[in-house]
Structure 1
Amino acid sequence: MHSSSYPDSYYAASATPAPTRPLLQGESETDVCVIGAGYTGLSTALFLREAGMQVTVLEAAKVGFGASGRNGGQIVNSYSRDIDVIERSVAPRQAQLIGQMAFEGARIIRQRISQYGIDCDLRDGGIFAALNTKQMRHLEQQQRLWQRHGHDQVELLDREQLRAMVASERYVGGSIDRSGGHIHPLNLALGEAAAVESLGGLIHEDSPALRIERGTSQLVHTPQGRVKARYVVVAGNAYLGNLLPELATKSMPCGSQVIATEPLDAALAASLLPQNHCVEDCNYLLDYFRLSADNRLIYGGGVVYGARDPADIAAIIRPKMLKTFPQLRDVKIDYAWTGNFLLTLSRLPQVGRLGENLFYSQGCSGHGVTYTHLAGKLLAEALQGQTERFDAFAQLPHYPFPGGRLLRIPFTAIGAAYYDLRDRLGV
Structure 2
Amino acid sequence: MDYDVIVIGGGPSGLMASASAGLQGAKVLLLDKGEKLGKKLAISGGGRCNVTNNKEIDELIQNIPGNGRFLYSVFATFNNRDIIHFFEGLGVQLKEEDHGRMFPVTNKAKTVVQALIQKVKEVGVEIRVNTPVKEVLYQNGAVRGVQTKTGKIYHAPTVILATGGKAASHTGSQGDGYIWAEAARHTITELFPTEVPLTSSETLITSKALQGLSLRDVAISVLNPKGKKIITHRGDMLFTHFGLSGPIALRCSQFVIKTLKKLSLTEVPVVIDLFPDEPFHLLHLRIDQLLKEQERKLLKNVIKAILPDRLITAMFQQLHLNQETTCLQLNQEQIQEISTWCKNFTLQINGTLPLEKAFVTGGGVHVKEIQPKTMESKIMNGLFFCGEILDIHGYTGGYNITAAMCTGFVAGMNAAKNKKKTF
TM-score scaled by length of structure 1: 0.47
CA radius of gyration, larger in:
2
Higher relative contact order (CA 8 A, sep 6+): 2
Normalized per residue, the structure richer in strand is 1
